[in-house]
Structure 1
Amino acid sequence: MTVYYTKMREILCKIGMVNKMNNKKIKVLHLELDEHLGGIESFLYNLYNAIDREKVQFDFVSRSDNPAYKSELTELGANIFKVYSFKNPFKYMNDLKQIIKNGEYDIIHIHKNSAANILPFCVTNKFKNMKVFVHSHNTKPSVNGCTSVLHNINKKFLYDSANKHFACSQVAGEWMYGKNIKFRVLRNGIITSKYRFNKEKRKIKRQELNIPNSAFVVGNVGRFAEQKNQKRLVEVFDEVKKLNPNSYLLLIGDGNLKEKIQLYVKEKNIENVKFLGVRNDIPDLMMAMDVFVMPSLYEGLPIVGVEAQAAGLNLYLSNTISKETQLIDSVKWFDLNESNKRIAESIKIEMIDDEERKCRNDDVKNHGYDIEQTAKELLYEYEECLR
């Protein structure tokens, strides 16, 4: 695939379909960054890190004063614009309209978990000479009930309002656009080299966290929300500790349910659970882990699942997560209807060989999940759409 995109780009340049003569950057506005670090935020940061910034300028919209990766993205040259919350839709749309008008963007790239909110498309439809990309990142809305109803009502409007349609997985695309509808799966690439196992980093990180080298460490990364199901993970970990008392659980992330789960851990007197908050050292923390457990109620194709495989971990995922998440044979599946004890018993309590962890990193890269490849493919899509 890499060769194909490189060759196509060379051909387009030769026949003048890529605007290379005046060195004008393609200006792309991404919607939008959240204050909580999630899959979309990680994907966008990795993408802007890897894409050719001599050819593309990324800017971002957020409803937060302090969105995830704010300082890192601005250091890379991005502008981040604040818009009003959805509570006042007219103010939100006016803010977005002014940003687009002043920025003279070539492309608006809208990242969505559902079609429930179509306000951005109501704005972009007013700019007839601008291209719109829509990108599905999930398989269910964060809130059920009327959100699901709105999603089904708005799907056609969303699809018709965009020039290009992407998804992080086949199931995420079918959820957003419908079955037998044309869209393209764009892999959630990561910086695979950052996740290549390093024994020294594992040792240092465990020392920082006061975790013995002999301990068995279970990990999870995600915002504390109903979808991520961390309370169930804590219950399963309680059973793991009965099998191996020298076990630790690392919970990385923030969110509305964090305090509630912290209180539950305290009430149940479950020891060795560490709440680490939002971190910028995820690769090193994964090196300190032995297994990665994800009992999510639903997922499109979680980037942390790709990262955990690249870190060489054994993964245990609920069968409500997209099966496309499995890139290599280190992934095992469990049913959320099973008992906590049975799920715990399925988790292999073992240390993985150092060389095996490094080989798994190579395997993930060979499956096309390195961000360099994703960036080349998306740059081609931007250029092809503007020719």
Structure 2
Amino acid sequence: MIMRILVVGDFLKTSGMTRYIFNVIGRIHASDFQVDALSISGKDECKGQVKKMGWGFYCVQAANNNLLRHLVQSFIFFKKHAKDYDVIHFNESALWNFLPIIFAHLFGAKRIILNSHNTYFATEGSKKLYVVLEIMHRIGKWLVAHVVAQNIAVSEEAARWMFTRKTINRHEYKIIVNGIELEKFAYNKEQRFKIRKSLKINEDTFLFGNVGIFNARKNQLRLLEIFNELVKRNLDVKLVLVGDGPIKEAIVAKISELRLADKVVMTGLINNTNEYYQAMDGVIMPSLNEGLSTVLLEAQTSGLQFILSEGLPLGNHIDLLVHEVPLSESNRVWADVVEHNMNREKREVFGSIMQKKGFDVELSAKELYQTYLEER
């Protein structure tokens, strides 16, 4: 008997959540599974990739663009389709928008899985908005706890953010990490040479990178200020920014303001991020918040020095590579930590280390597969 699964997520090319869905769920090649995707971002930019995987595709208006339309479309969708699925897998950053999960339950969803991907709100806005979101998030946590059959999180921090204290205390959740393709991200000297040559970067130059959506939460404007401190010290350094997003113009303006045009490369959206990791020597990530960053896992697999904000989820990290700095510290202090860790370790060994730590995507896919089969 074919098991029907609905995967609910943002399905955006720049989204870590979407990368998780494609990397992990996309690896479940079971002949008795039929998967559909529901995009809650209001965009269909991943529709082609979804269809290529053999999945069905649906889309509703984004909640942060038009909440009423989002709720009406979600209500109509689940009224029509909720009973069609054996599992509805909600991938969420927060629970302020909890009604779609309630709709799925009310209209007969057989089994609901809630998957936490973050430790704060992905929505950007004013302090007043965050107060409202926090209240709704707390209400959502309590209500959703009564209808969800299985809780999953990418890290312990993401679990505490999304689930009730009762759920946490009773350990009524499981951690399934953002597994990655270890062989793809393991250090490759040939790829390093190729990318550096294309970027016209000398081997002696220490190349820093930052990978992800350009937005306030990822804090690339602060990153440029930190990097500028390194440049002022006459260090042989460059920076590559991989990604795109709503603050791209502000980033370009900041690069111009700091006169870093000859020091910073912007790649836009690319499909070979793994090759760019090989060209890098380190990553600087002063993010305001994260779930368990896929970039952190990928970079460690490539053997990169990784300097990030204190308090972000680290998972089972490699101490030799990962270095925390409080966001409250000055750009000068950040630059001190970065400069102190401008060394190149024997990068070939870290792929196998990450495998031993349990970050193989095949293991994550196997764990999720078993979760889908529970209570079948």
Shorter-chain TM-score above 0.5: yes
- The aligned counterpart of 1:205 is 195
Calculate the aligned-residue CA RMSD, in Å.
Answer: 1.9
Q: Look up the match of 2:161.
A: 175
Contact 1:251 1:276 in 2 (8 A): yes
Q: Do the aligned partners of 1:85 and 1:92 also contact (CA within 8 Å) in 2?
A: no
Q: Which has the higher contact order (CA 8 A, sep 6+)?
A: 1
| Alignment of 1:155 onto 2:141 | yes
1:283-325, Cα deviation, whole Å (9 max, x unpaired): 1011110001111111121111111111111111111311326
| Structure 2 equivalent of residue 40 of structure 1 | 17
Distance change in 2, residues 1:106/1:338 (3 Å):
same
Aligned to 1:241: 231
- After superposition, the C-alpha distances for 1:192-243 in whole angstroms (9 at most, x for unaligned) are 1110111010111112222222211111112112211111111110011223
Distance 1:187 1:174, change over 3 A: same
- In structure 2, distance between residues paired with 1:99 and 1:252: 38
1:287 alignment partner, one of 266, 275, 278: 278
- Deviations along 1:359-378, one digit per CA (max 9) or x if unpaired, are 11111111111110011111
Structure 1 residue 149 displacement after superposition: 1.7
Residue ranges of structure 1 left out of the alignment (5+ in a row)? 1-23
Q: Which amino acid aligns with 1:138?
A: N
User: Does the residue aligned with 1:249 lie in a helix, a strand or coil?
Assistant: strand
Q: Structure 1 residues 85, 349: closer, same or farther in 2, change over 3 A?
A: closer
2:44 is equivalent to residue 66 of structure 1: yes
Q: 2:177 aligns with which of 187, 190, 201?
A: 187
170-179 vs 341-350, which moves further: 341-350
Q: What letter corresponds to residue 293 of structure 1 in structure 2?
A: I
Q: Trace 1:325-336 onto structure 2 (pairs within 5 A).
A: 326-336=317-327
SS in 2 for 1:312: coil
The whole-number CA distance in structure 1 between the counterparts of 2:86 and 2:234 is: 56
- 1:269 maps to 259
Deviation for aligned residue 1:185: 1.2
> What is the CA–CA distance in structure 2 between the aligned matches of 1:371 and 1:202, rounded to whole Å?
23
Partner of 1:128: 108
Q: Secondary structure at the match of 1:251?
A: strand
| 1:29 corresponds to 2:15 | no
User: Which shifted more, 254-263 or 118-127?
Assistant: 118-127
* Secondary structure of residue in 1 paired with 2:239: strand
The alignment covers a number of residue pairs equal to 358
CA contact (8 A) 1:306 1:325 kept: no
CA shift at 1:254, angstroms? 1.6
Q: Structure 1's 341 and 122: CA in aligned 2 closer, same or farther, altered over 3 A?
A: same
> Matched residues in 1 for 2:102 and 2:113: separation?
14
Moved more, 338-347 or 326-335: 326-335
Aligned to 2:77: 95
Cα distance, 1:327 vs structure 2: 4.3
> 2 CA distance for matches of 1:73 and 1:90?
24
- Secondary structure of 2:253's counterpart equals helix
SS at match of 2:214: coil
Q: 1:299 to 1:325 in 2, by over 3 A?
A: farther
Question: Which residue of structure 2 aligns with residue 10 of structure 1?
Answer: none
Q: Distance in 1 between matches of 2:250 and 2:204?
A: 30
Q: Displacement of 1:48 after TM fit?
A: 3.2
Residue 108 of structure 1: which of 75, 84, 88 is its match?
88
Q: Secondary structure at the match of 2:58?
A: strand
- Contact 2:219/2:286 (8 A) holds in 1: yes
Tell me by how many angstroms 1:129 deviates.
5.2
Opposite residue 363 of structure 1, the aligned amino acid is: I
Q: Which residue of 1 aligns with 2:222?
A: 232
Q: Which residue identity lines up with residue 116 of structure 1 in the other structure?
A: W
Shift of 1:329: 2.9
Report what 1:223 is aligned to.
Answer: 213
The share of aligned pairs that are identical, in percent, is 29
C-alpha deviations, 1:126-157, integer Å up to 9, x for none?
A: 24351100011111112423111211122111
Runs of at least 5 residues in structure 2 that lack an aligned partner in the other structure: 125-129
Asked whether the equivalents of residues 309 and 328 of structure 1 are also in contact (C-alpha less than 8 Å), the reply is no
Are 2:243 and 2:268, in contact at CA under 8 Å, matched by a contact in 1?
Answer: yes
